[in-house]
Amino acid sequence: MTPAALTTLLVLLLGLLFPAAATAASPSILVSRVTTSAKVMALTFDFGSDAGNVSRILQALADRGVKATFFVTGEAAANHPDVIRSVVAQGHEIGNHSYSHPYFTRITTAQMADELARTATAIRNATGQWPKPFFRPPYGDYNATVLQTVGEAGYTHTIMWTIDTVDWQGVSSAAVRDAVLSRVTPGAIALMHVGGGASGTPDALPGMIDGLRGAGYQLVTISELLGSTPAGQTSYVVKPGDTLYRIANLYGVSVPAIVNANNIANPNLIYPNQLLVIPTGSAPPPSSASYTVQPGDTLYRIAARYGTTVTAIANANNIADPNLIYPGQVLMIPGGGAPPVTRTHTVQPGDTLYRIAARYGTTVNAIVVANNIANPNLIRPGQVLVIPG
């Protein structure tokens, strides 16, 4: 066997033995709310090194039979293993919240991986369970690199929130309670903290839970919430090159509607693999045609052929300069299924565009645009023209 053949065989064997290494992991899916019409929502608690209010919070949840999700730091697991065990023993869910609570966008990918791994080990040592597949970034700080690194570490979902109670500021129990009751929607995720600084949280829980149930809500864990999306509800996973404007156009809704439904702080900042809720009542995107740019094509010509506008195609394909497209480029044609039925005409000796247009019941200008003709008086026998429908 030649060295080259041996190398190929080894690569194939490694791919079979270690399939995870053969392909790059997907980025972690960013979730701030789940698409559902069911009245379900999740209470979540960030658990840093301060365990000041954990016992009272656990008691309030137990008194009303509520299961929640706790995002635990490695320092918390290392310093308070008995408390973490109590959280798990009472049936609550655990997620990874980093080891030392740094801003993830300010550290290297190697440091991120270390933070995640050390936390997972600390939680495993304390409870016998791993915190995967859920991660919450400290301070809600993330970018595309963070999502990719977290996904590669095995955390399939990065959990943000719909409702920030700002309880860590020491606001009153009434303020914490009302923040949730006044802003709850189906699929919402509420953020609270267990530290001593969140002094109003323990006393807020009884009234909050009673109020939510009185409004018909069921309180669930994050894993239960993610499993609550019924068929027919609309969500969208952001793709590279997407903008909120493009997504809004696809679904026939407004950018502010998507921003509000997903608690997006900056409408210009979305990430590939981010899971977006499309507001209730939105139709699914129409099937879109695709078109491969040919030499001589312009967006104006393509738009005319498909009965759409240059602006619509530019927005749907994130094109910065509508005058700059390339042969071989594949364009999505918004709102289109199949292109209109296209007729062609082979120019005969003596033909003029006026005569051809009259024959097909169209206009000279329409043929000029559809065929990118620079001089309407100059056509050649044998030339094949597209006749717009």
The full DSSP string for 224-279 is HHHTT--TT--EEE--TT--HHHHHHHHT--HHHHHHHHT-S-TT---TTBEEEPP
The reply to whether 368 falls in a domain is yes
Total domains, the chain: 4
Confidence of residue 37 (pLDDT cuts 50, 70, 90): confident
- Identify the domain containing residue 357 by its residue range: 343-387
pLDDT attached to residue 11: 43
The verdict on whether 351 is a catalytic residue reads: no
pLDDT attached to residue 289: 66
- Work out whether strand 40-47 and strand 218-220 pair parallel, antiparallel, or are unpaired: parallel
Q: Which one from 92, 193, 242, 297 is the annotated catalytic residue?
A: 193
pLDDT attached to residue 86: 94
Q: Compute the residue count for the chain.
A: 389
The reply to whether 12 falls in a domain is no
Which two three-digit tokens encode residue 218? 């069921």
Contact indicator for 288, 336 with CB cutoff of 8 Å: yes
- Average per-residue pLDDT for the chain: 84
Question: Does residue 284 have a cis bond before it (omega within 30 degrees)?
Answer: no
**Tokens 């594949």 found at:** 330
**Tokens 């392909």 found at:** 23
As a whole-number percent, the residues of the chain with pLDDT over 70 amount to 87
Point out the least confidently predicted range of 1-10, 75-84, 139-148, 295-304.
1-10
Inform me whether the pLDDT recorded for 250 exceeds 50.
Answer: yes
pLDDT attached to residue 280: 59
Inform me whether the pLDDT recorded for 338 exceeds 60.
Answer: no
Point out the least confidently predicted range of 59-73, 149-163, 216-230.
216-230
Point out the least confidently predicted range of 106-115, 173-182, 230-239, 245-254.
230-239
Amino acid making up residue 389: G
Maximum CA pair distance of the chain? 93
Mean pLDDT of 349-369: 82
The reply to whether 205 falls in a domain is yes
Point out the least confidently predicted range of 12-26, 123-137, 357-371.
12-26
The reply to whether 10 falls in a domain is no
Mean pLDDT of 21-39: 78
The reply to whether 18 falls in a domain is no
Please list the residues that pair with 43 across neighbouring strands: 190
Contact indicator for 53, 175 with CB cutoff of 8 Å: no
The verdict on whether 46 is a catalytic residue reads: yes
Tell whether 179 and 205 lie within a shared domain: yes
pLDDT attached to residue 7: 46
Radius of gyration of the chain from its Cα atoms, rounded to whole angstroms: 28
Contact indicator for 234, 278 with CB cutoff of 8 Å: yes
pLDDT attached to residue 344: 77
Tell whether 197 and 165 lie within a shared domain: yes
CA 337/CA 10 separation, integer angstroms: 46
Point out the least confidently predicted range of 20-29, 158-167, 287-296.
20-29
pLDDT attached to residue 22: 38
Tell whether 64 and 123 lie within a shared domain: yes
pLDDT attached to residue 288: 54
- Strand residue runs (E) in the chain: 29-31, 40-47, 69-72, 93-96, 134-135, 157-159, 163-164, 188-193, 218-220, 235-237, 275-277, 289-292, 330-333, 343-346, 384-387
Instruction: Say what the pTM is.
Output: 0.62
Tell whether 35 and 164 lie within a shared domain: yes
Tell whether 154 and 178 lie within a shared domain: yes
pLDDT attached to residue 9: 53
pLDDT attached to residue 169: 94
Mean pLDDT of 82-110: 95
**Any idea what the Cα angle at residue 121 is, between residues 119 and 125, rounded to 5°?**
120
Tell whether 183 and 201 lie within a shared domain: yes
- Work out whether strand 29-31 and strand 157-159 pair parallel, antiparallel, or are unpaired: parallel
Q: Which one from 46, 50, 167, 242 is the annotated catalytic residue?
A: 46
**Tokens 């995870």 found at:** 20
Tell whether 39 and 142 lie within a shared domain: yes
CATH number at residue 100: 3.20.20.370
pLDDT attached to residue 232: 46
Point out the least confidently predicted range of 83-87, 189-193, 293-297.
293-297
Tell whether 84 and 172 lie within a shared domain: yes
CATH number at residue 250: 3.10.350.10
Tell whether 76 and 189 lie within a shared domain: yes
Tell whether 108 and 193 lie within a shared domain: yes
